[in-house]
Amino acid sequence: MYKFFKFSMPIGIAGIVLSLILFATNLYYEWVIPVFERSMEDGPAFSAIDHLTYYTPLIIASLFVAYIVSGQIYIKKHHEKVEEKVTEKVIEKNEKIQKELDAKAEFFKHKYYTNCPKCGAPREENKSECSFCGASLIIEGSKDNKS
**The 3-state secondary structure of the chain, one letter per residue:** CHHHHHCHHHHHHHHHHHHHHHHHHCHHHHHHHHHHHHHCCCCHHHHHHHHHHHHHHHHHHHHHHHHHHHHHHHHHHHHHHHHHHHHHHHHHHHHHHHHHHHHHHHHHCCCECCECCCCCCECCCCCCECCCCCCECECCCCCCCCC
Q: Using CA atoms, how far apart are residues 55 and 20, in angstroms rounded to an integer?
A: 10
pLDDT at 147 exceeding the cut of 80? no
pLDDT confidence band for 142 (50 / 70 / 90)? low
Structure pTM?
Answer: 0.57
The pLDDT of residue 13 is 94
- Of the pLDDT bands very low, low, confident and very high (cuts 50, 70, 90), residue 143 is low
pLDDT in tens, 40-90: 667 787 888 888 888 999 999 999 999 999 999 999 999 999 999 999 999
Band (pLDDT 50/70/90 cuts) for residue 98 is: very high
Confidence at residue 28, expressed as pLDDT on a 0 to 100 scale? 81
Give me the chain's average pLDDT, please. 87
Rounded Cα–Cα distance for residues 147 and 145 (Å): 6
Per-residue pLDDT reduced to its tens digit, 3-36: 888 899 999 999 999 999 988 888 888 888 888 7
* Mean pLDDT along residues 107-129: 88
